[in-house]
A and B are shown apart, each in its own frame.
Chain A
Amino acid sequence: MPAKLTLVLGKGGVGRTTLSLALALGHAELGERTALCSLLARQDLSHEPRALVHTGWGEPPAELEWVEIDPRGAVDHVVRRLVPLPALAGLVTAHPAYDALFGIAPGVKELAVLHRLLALVDEGGARKRVVVDGLATGHGTHFLEAPRKSAEMLVGNLAERARAIDAALTDPARTTVLLATTLEETPVRETVELAGRLRHMGFPLQAILANRALPEVLPDAQALPDLRRIAAREQARLVGSELGLSWRGVQGLAQAALHLELQAREEREHLPALHGLGLPVIEVPLELEPRGMLRRIAAKLLEAGL
């Protein structure tokens, strides 16, 4: 029985690693053997998830597996398998042109990584779920497009494998895709573009994760003009004299609150664009306290049925 594959996609900086980690931890804690898979970045841009798990969760559950795929290693692995003569394989991978070429050759690295990833899923066994952090960022879908594009250029075993990978990634019974974003202009625009492209390519989208959503400051929207008024000097003076505070003190409080209220409203203005995708939008609130953060996020994600 192959494992279920969940791809968490989204541009860097939106908290994709934290969300993937929370989801994997949540399922592992329920006793489901879960692999959290990420690409070994040439530069470590991750949140150092292992350090994060200790403050944000506590002792990681035994059912959690950490898997890192090294893209360069994955390519070497495939080349070695394809070229049965070790001498020739060594000649190929040691050639200076090999390094330079795979720096620019389209699709090769991507296909090799997906090949390793699917092997992990197909192995199944005790492993019930594979959560993948990354693979598509912003409007770049080259990773997920690679199998289909490569299948057109390749023949034989490799073409067959490329087609099988594409079929698995686009099968809703096996794969689900979560799109992570924050409620800011650029990430939302890129998420809408990404969703459009993925849908066009036949990827099974499940939900949008709107991360670090600001809470609304004013429970009653009607009070916004009043907030603006006391953020101005004259009214702040009036209120301040009643309160035994300087007008600057009152104004400081009101301006800080107004700033966040306006920011929260701007965030909410981006929601219709996300709702327009016809997918559930799961809002994950802004977390400032690291302790227990992953547990709170995991609870939110599992409660939403992810």
Chain B
Amino acid sequence: MTLQSQLRDKRLVVFLGAGGVGKTTIAAACAVQAARERETLALTIDPARRLADALGVRLGAGETRVEGRLSAAMLDSKQALDDMVRKYAPDQERLQRIMASPFYAQLSDAFAGSEEFVASGQLYELLQQQRYELVVVDTPPSKHALDFLEVPERLVKVFDSGAVSWLFKPTRLLRLAGGRATALLARWTSQRYIEDVADFFTQFDRMFLDMEQRVRAMRGILTDPAQTAIAIVALPEPASMLAARTFHRELTERLRMPVDAIVVNRVLTNPPPQRGVSDEELARLLAKALEHSGTVPRAHVEPLSQGVVRGASLYRAMAQHQQEAIRALASEVACEVVQVPALPESVSSLAGLEKLRAAMFG
């Protein structure tokens, strides 16, 4: 099944990849493609607001109609996390304590991916409303590309495993060591730290339990190939290709989520063919032709002819390296590998997105 038909059939298409590979732009171009036929929402969790830049719209808290069947929205998961704490905190004093807790500061710093947890719950709510036939998600540029899929589950696991009660009632464990452990524990953490942790988790316990159902249901949608397609975005460089291969393996083998496509962005296409002469000879011939044709000032003939030959030769070498890296990747994955040609200008408008869409899907 091609990426194009995924965009026609699925309910959710998720784009994953490291920061800087052009994930937001690729996701937006795919949303533009899908919106030709279906009511589509381009959803970004990227705080850099690139989607808004690319679409030329202002993205606020809600959804914005871009044009035709295309809408866009941004999830502000940091804000959502704060809102959720406010909603669940029983009183003002507790709220202050949670907000002031070093644990909360670090958690909400995306330290532990609580933003992904919230984003996952929000995405589920959005899908439940069924206002769109397709939601295209551009995942946050996390330090780890799989955080979006993985962290919500990791947090659920913490609650399942009894870590909360383990922390909250350490006495049960400490008694086993004959009481000596209390003194020990106090030697390496302060009483205040233990209180902070306990406080934090009891407050968050209710909140997470409520969220947990949504996160589990979201996981059900994400792992259902009838509803969801997952695409990895990468650049045609060995390091990025290697990362894509690793993501692919992790997703399919460990997380059991099928990958439908790997999109290789900014590929140098149509390299000029190698002539039967050396670069020096070609540069000499080109200089002669430039001089005779009189198209450029005499002083520019030499640097220009050398520049053209050097540039073309470097382009050819780079394009060849890219194709080797792409071939190595394609031989190891079963999914479709989509090559997106490098456009001369970076995409910064709806017209630019349309060009990219046309380059991808015709």
Please give the residue numbers on chain A whose beta carbons come within 8 Å of chain B beta carbons, in ascending order. 11-13, 15, 43-45, 47, 82-85, 87-88, 91-92, 95-97, 99-101, 103-107, 137-138, 140, 142, 149, 152-158, 184-187, 190, 215, 217-220, 222-223, 226-227, 229-230, 235, 238-243, 249, 252-262, 288
Contact = CB atoms under 8 A, between A and B. Distances in A.
A243 B155 CA distance: 67
B107 interface: yes
Interface of B: 18-20, 102-103, 106-107, 109, 111-113, 141, 143, 154-155, 157-158, 160-163, 166-167, 173, 176-177, 180-181, 184, 186-190, 192-193, 196, 235, 237-240, 242-243, 246, 249-250, 268, 270-273, 275, 285-286, 288-290, 292-293, 295-297, 300, 303-304, 306-312, 314-318, 321, 342, 344, 346
A interface majority secondary structure: helix
Contact of A43 (B157, B246, B271): B246
Contact of B304 (A47, A85, A227, A288): A227
A103 B157 contact: yes
Interface centre among A45, A223, A261 (most CB of B within 10 A): A223
Contact of B143 (A43, A101, A140, A215): A140
A140 B270 CA distance: 38
A223 B306 CA distance: 11
B344 A12 contact: no
A184 B158 CA distance: 39
Contacts of A84: 184
B173 A91 contact: yes
A43 B242 CA distance: 11
Given A100-B163, A149-B106, A239-B295, A219 B311 contact: no
B106 A13 contact: no
Nearest to A140: B143
B315 A259 contact: yes
A85 B179 CA distance: 12
B272 A104 contact: no
A198 to B, nearest CB: 16
A104 B112 contact: yes
Given A43-B246, A103-B154, A218 B304 contact: yes
26 contacts: A11-B19, A13-B240, A83-B181, A100-B163, A103-B112, A104-B107, A104-B154, A106-B102, A106-B106, A153-B189, A153-B193, A154-B188, A154-B189, A184-B20, A223-B304, A226-B295, A226-B300, A229-B295, A230-B290, A235-B293, A239-B290, A240-B289, A252-B312, A253-B312, A256-B312, A259-B268
A267 to B, nearest CB: 13
B190 A218 contact: no
Contact of A260 (B102, B239, B314): B314
Contacts, number: 223
A15 B237 CA distance: 10
A24 B97 CA distance: 47
B289 A239 contact: yes
A219 B307 contact: yes
A218 B20 contact: no
A141 to B, nearest CB: 10
Contacts of A96: 161-162
A262 B344 contact: yes
Contacts of B268: 259
Nearest to B187: A156
B274 to A, nearest CB: 11
Contacts of B112: 103-106
A142 B272 CA distance: 46
B293 to A, nearest CB: 4
Q: Identify the interface centre among B19, B238, B271, B316: most chain A CB within 10 Å of its CB.
A: B19
A27 B190 CA distance: 43
Q: 5 closest Cβ contacts across the A-B interface? A: A257-B311, A186-B20, A242-B289, A256-B315, A97-B163
Given A92-B173, A101-B158, A154-B190, 17 more contacts: A45-B239, A83-B184, A84-B184, A100-B160, A104-B113, A106-B102, A138-B141, A155-B186, A156-B188, A158-B188, A185-B346, A217-B307, A223-B303, A239-B295, A240-B289, A242-B288, A242-B290
A97 B311 contact: no
Contacts of A13: 18, 20, 235, 237, 239-240, 243
Contacts of A153: 102, 189-190, 192-193, 196
A254 B293 contact: no
B177 A88 contact: yes
Contact of A230 (B20, B288, B308): B308
A288 B321 contact: yes
A242 B154 contact: no
Contacts of B184: 82-84
A99 B303 contact: no
Contacts of B285: 243
Nearest to A186: B20
A223 B296 contact: yes
A261 B239 contact: no
B49 to A, nearest CB: 13
A9 to B, nearest CB: 12
Contacts of A95: 166, 173
Contacts of A241: 293
Contact of A226 (B163, B180, B271, B297): B297
A155 B188 contact: yes
A287 to B, nearest CB: 10
Nearest to B112: A104
A238 B296 CA distance: 11
A225 to B, nearest CB: 9
Contact of B272 (A235, A239, A256, A288): A256
Nearest to A226: B296
A218 B289 CA distance: 18
A153 B106 CA distance: 12
A101 B167 contact: yes
B307 A47 contact: no
A226 to B, nearest CB: 4
